[in-house]
Amino acid sequence: MTTDIPVGSRVVLRYALPPGRSHPMTDVVGILEGVAPFVTVRAADGTVVEVEPDRVIALKAVPARPVRTSEIRALELASADGWPGVEHAWIDGWLARYGHGFTGRANSAAPLGDPGTVGDLADSSPGSTLDRLRDWYAERERPLRLLLPDRLGAVPPGWNLSDEVVVMGADIANLTLPRGPRTTTITDRPDSDWLALYRYRGSALPDFAVDVLDAVRGGTLGFGRIGAADSTLLAVARGSVTSAPDGRLWVGLTAVEVAQAHRRRGIGSLICGEMIAWGREQGATHACLQVAAENEGAQAMYRGLGFVAHHRYRYATEPVGGGH
């Protein structure tokens, strides 16, 4: 059977039942896991339905429910707790984070306060929100950089946007997770081998990066690894379990890295799935991650696990000479 619907999509499958049943056909709604040799759909309760292609009457993608603005804010707050940097402060409804310059998220300010509390950055007068944010970062010898999730904050006039990021999420009950004994070893801190394998944007980590990797606010961290028989690391990943204001408990995946020689063998999907399973053991009900908008390969891998796009964010920087 051929279909344009990608594996990992939420679908409704209508298929014919064998003769003698009380009705000739039935439906199942769930995540499409495959189309050959059987059309396979996993329902929300974990039940897997496999149907021969000649019994399929219709297979349609189910449009995702629109994500509410409050859900974007809640997920961003849970993610911020999982990647808080080494310092943070609330400034007029903006969450400012600092992490020695390591990663954009740990060194930017995001408008995550309750509606009505977030200061308007159009005003740059002394004592304004923008002025206070500039000063906070200047004290740490960093330029002000804004992280602007969809619908949560406007771009200040004249500022430059860059580095679009897709935030993907899922109800863990809808994800395809590995079965059987766990291959991933999970510890509460990264050791030198873990740190040596993880490359941030292709480069080795600076010494101070471990302070950012080790930080969590009100949650639990796990550092996963998959090793070969000779103890060579094949893959690493970081998981954080934190709570959102709406009561959901999220396991956030970050720092996923597969050794160059072992890519495209399913190891990335394996370690991500096992880190999510670890998060579920810590009480998480949902999973999330961030991936660069242009990284189609990584997005396809995560869709294969069952993730869907939740929202996006972009970074905004002030033009040269725009500050005080």
**Domain locations in the chain as residue ranges:** 9-61, 84-163, 168-313
CA-to-CA distance for 214 and 84, rounded, in angstroms? 10
Point out which residues pair with 308 in neighbouring strands.
169
Helices (H), the chain: 69-82, 129-138, 192-197, 209-213, 267-281, 296-305
What average pLDDT score do residues 135-147 get? 97
The SS3 of residue 244 is: coil
CA-to-CA distance for 110 and 112, rounded, in angstroms? 6
* Backbone φ and ψ of 205, nearest 5°: -75, 140
Look at residue 280 and tell me whether its pLDDT is greater than 90: yes
Q: What distance lies between CA 264 and its chain's CA centroid?
A: 20
pLDDT at 321: 66
Strands 109-110 and 94-98: antiparallel
CA-to-CA distance for 150 and 128, rounded, in angstroms? 23
pLDDT at 234: 96
Contact 314, 148 (CB under 8 A): yes
| Residue 63 vs residues 9, 11, 111, 204: alpha-carbon distances, Å | 9, 8, 28, 41
Look at residue 55 and tell me whether its pLDDT is greater than 90: yes
What average pLDDT score do residues 255-280 get? 94
| Residue 180 vs residues 184, 266, 273, 274: alpha-carbon distances, Å | 12, 16, 12, 10
What average pLDDT score do residues 23-52 get? 88
pLDDT at 324: 56
pLDDT band at 322 (very low <50, low <70, confident <90, very high): low
pLDDT at 319: 86
Sequence length of the chain is 324
Edge-first strand listing for the sheet containing 109-110: 87-91, 94-98, 109-110, 145-149, 308-317, 160-171, 286-292, 249-258, 233-243, 220-227, 185-187
Which residue in 186, 249, 194 sits closest to 219, CA to CA?
Answer: 249
CA-to-CA distance for 93 and 89, rounded, in angstroms? 10
DSSP string covering 130-180? HHHHHHHHHTTT---EEEEETTT-PPPTTPEEEEEEEEEEEEGGGS----S
**Token pair 């070969």: residue:** 228
pLDDT at 22: 80
- For the domain made up of 168-313, the CATH class stated in words is alpha beta
Point out which residues pair with 13 in neighbouring strands.
28, 59
